[in-house]
């Protein structure tokens, strides 16, 4: 299975990237769908070089990100000095310095780090596991759905799917990418800065910690340029609504404790919420105001048999796709059970591959209006179907926690 970074049924995809005039050659990894986690190929990214960017947030904090003294002290206990982060210290993935606990998330902005070259996706080595590796599949599972051919979204993407975009981040294996969705914030009606994605797109799960340099780009490559055309694209063309850095991220405790690179471990809880802030001044506008829309999240969606149709959106990067364009699949979901102790997942036929992980699944909510009800978590190496967690009380708790954290700001 392919999976975007740590997710389920994992399969990660990655490949070589072109060098840029601004820095050394990089290897970029695309988190692909994979049974609950992601098995990624490693890349050195800018591991031996220093970003040409300067940090806008440091241990001292600034108007965008203020890091509490207690967190700075905990980071120093791990040997991490945020004053050195801007000089490339974030590339040190020593296990003792990889922050793991929920309260230890930190993500200082490094201006210009995510330039068009760095955001461009890599080729896929096509590594993953097969459908037969569903060893935990016990309980209620419907027959494997027939593949549904993913359809390209017509540019400009913002006109029809303004909430969709990409999440970029750095991992020990290199630069990676997921898909994501702008969602509403109950604490800030009409002014949300919340993004929904997969847990494995922000945290490595039971054998790792928080990823670094997490940023969201809404309507990535909005005009649908080809790979060739993107070689000379400006940052404004690639990211027309800006680059938004995560100043807080939260996933489920279950993902942190159980999430694995293969086999679907933790997939039923493979979701995350990121609170973002613009890299550059945005006139005080929120993400929702900037893109003009945000989806509500339905934590009381109907049981699987009662859902007439789901639409999954994402940027698939594994072959035959190239990660530059937005696609969708629509299908009636079935059930997938990986473990009798975990909630049953939604599963749909879909040919989207790695890179689409974290992308939103939309259905008619309990009020009859479109709402986000799941996100892409895992899929088979051979593609053909995708599975996503059902969003219940645990997911609602993650969402509410992030919303309340920024309620007074």
Phi first, then psi, for residue 334 (nearest 5°) are -115, -170
The more confident residue out of 195 and 317 is: 195
Q: How confident is the model at residue 126 (pLDDT cuts 50, 70, 90)?
A: very low
- Say what the pLDDT of residue 216 is: 97
Q: Mean pLDDT highest for which of 67-81, 106-120, 244-258?
A: 244-258
Instruction: Find residue 177's DSSP bridge partners.
Output: 168
CA distances 323 to 197, 247, 256, 274, 295, Å, are 17, 25, 27, 22, 23
Q: How confident is the model at residue 124 (pLDDT cuts 50, 70, 90)?
A: very low
- Say what the pLDDT of residue 339 is: 84
Domain count, the chain: 1
Mean pLDDT lowest among 42-51, 266-275, 376-385, 400-409: 42-51
- Say what the pLDDT of residue 349 is: 98
Domain containing 122: what range? 8-405
DSSP for 61-85 reads --SS----HHHHHHHHHTT--GGGG
- Give yes or no for residue 129 having a pLDDT over 70: no
Task: Show the beta-strand stretches assigned E in 130-266.
Answer: 151-152, 164-171, 174-183, 194-197, 212-218, 244-251
At 152-168, the pLDDT tens digits run 999 999 999 999 999 99
Residue at 2 is within a domain: no
Asked whether 144 and 385 are in contact (CB, 8 A), the reply is yes
What three-state secondary structure class fits 214?
strand
pTM (2 d.p.): 0.84
Q: How confident is the model at residue 364 (pLDDT cuts 50, 70, 90)?
A: confident
CA–CA separation, 6 vs 366, rounded Å?
30
The more confident residue out of 302 and 235 is: 235
Q: How confident is the model at residue 354 (pLDDT cuts 50, 70, 90)?
A: confident
Residue at 295 is within a domain: yes
CA–CA separation, 321 vs 319, rounded Å?
5
Mean pLDDT lowest among 5-9, 28-32, 88-92: 5-9
The number of CA neighbours under 13 Å toward the Cβ of 100 is 17
Residue at 345 is within a domain: yes
- Give yes or no for residue 213 having a pLDDT over 50: yes
Residue-averaged pLDDT of the chain? 80
Residue at 158 is within a domain: yes
- Say what the pLDDT of residue 133 is: 41
Percent of the chain at pLDDT above 90?
55
CA–CA separation, 61 vs 103, rounded Å?
17
- Give yes or no for residue 180 having a pLDDT over 70: yes
Q: Is the preceding peptide bond at 315 cis, omega within 30 degrees of 0?
A: no
| Exposure string over 357-382, b if 16+ CB within 10 A, otherwise e | bbbbbbbbbeeeeebbbbbbbbbbbe
Q: What is the mean pLDDT of residues 310-330?
A: 94
At 53-94, the pLDDT tens digits run 333 333 333 334 456 677 677 677 766 777 788 778 888 898
The more confident residue out of 311 and 62 is: 311
- Say what the pLDDT of residue 262 is: 67
For residue 27, the domain's CATH number is 2.40.10.120
DSSP for 392-403 reads -HHHHHHHHHHH
């Amino acid at each position: 299975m392919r999976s975007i970074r740590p997710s389920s049924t994992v399969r990660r995809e990655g490949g070589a990237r072109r060098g840029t005039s601004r820095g050394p050659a990089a290897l970029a990894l695309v988190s692909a769908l994979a049974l609950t986690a992601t098995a990624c190929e490693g890349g050195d990214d800018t591991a031996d070089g220093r970003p040409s960017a300067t940090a806008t947030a440091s241990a001292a904090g600034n108007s965008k990100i203020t890091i509490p003294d207690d967190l700075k002290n905990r980071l120093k206990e791990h040997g991490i000095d945020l004053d050195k982060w801007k000089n490339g210290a974030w590339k040190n993935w020593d296990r003792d310095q990889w922050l793991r606990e929920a309260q230890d998330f930190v993500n200082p902005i490094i201006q210009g780090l995510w330039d068009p070259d760095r955001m461009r996706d890599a080729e896929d080595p096509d590594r993953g596991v097969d459908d037969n590796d569903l060893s935990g599949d016990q309980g209620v599972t419907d027959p494997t759905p027939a593949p549904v051919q993913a359809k390209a979204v017509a540019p400009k993407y913002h006109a029809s799917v303004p909430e969709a975009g990409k999440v970029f981040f750095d991992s020990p294996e290199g630069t990676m990418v997921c898909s994501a969705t702008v969602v509403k914030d109950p604490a800030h009606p009409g002014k949300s800065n919340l993004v929904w994605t997969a847990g494995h797109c922000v945290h490595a799960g039971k054998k790792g910690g928080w990823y670094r340099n997490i940023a969201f780009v809404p309507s990535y490559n909005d005009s649908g340029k080809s790979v060739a055309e993107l070689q000379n694209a400006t940052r404004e063309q690639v990211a027309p609504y800006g680059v938004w850095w995560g100043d807080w991220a939260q996933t489920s405790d279950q993902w942190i404790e159980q999430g694995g690179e293969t086999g679907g471990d933790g997939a039923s809880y493979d979701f995350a919420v990121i609170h973002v802030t613009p890299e550059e001044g945005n006139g005080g506008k929120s993400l929702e105001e900037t893109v003009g829309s945000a989806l509500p999240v339905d934590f009381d969606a109907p049981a699987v048999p009662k859902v007439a149709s789901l639409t999954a959106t994402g940027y698939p990067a594994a072959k035959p796709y190239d990660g530059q364009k937005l696609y969708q699949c629509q299908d009636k979901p079935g059930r997938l059970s990986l473990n009798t102790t975990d909630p049953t997942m939604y599963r749909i036929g879909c040919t989207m591959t790695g890179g689409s992980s974290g992308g939103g699944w939309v259905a008619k909510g309990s009020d009859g209006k479109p709402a986000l009800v799941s996100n892409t978590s895992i899929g088979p190496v051979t593609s053909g179907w995708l599975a996503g967690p059902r969003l219940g009380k645990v997911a609602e708790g993650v969402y509410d926690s992030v919303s309340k954290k920024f309620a007074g700001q």
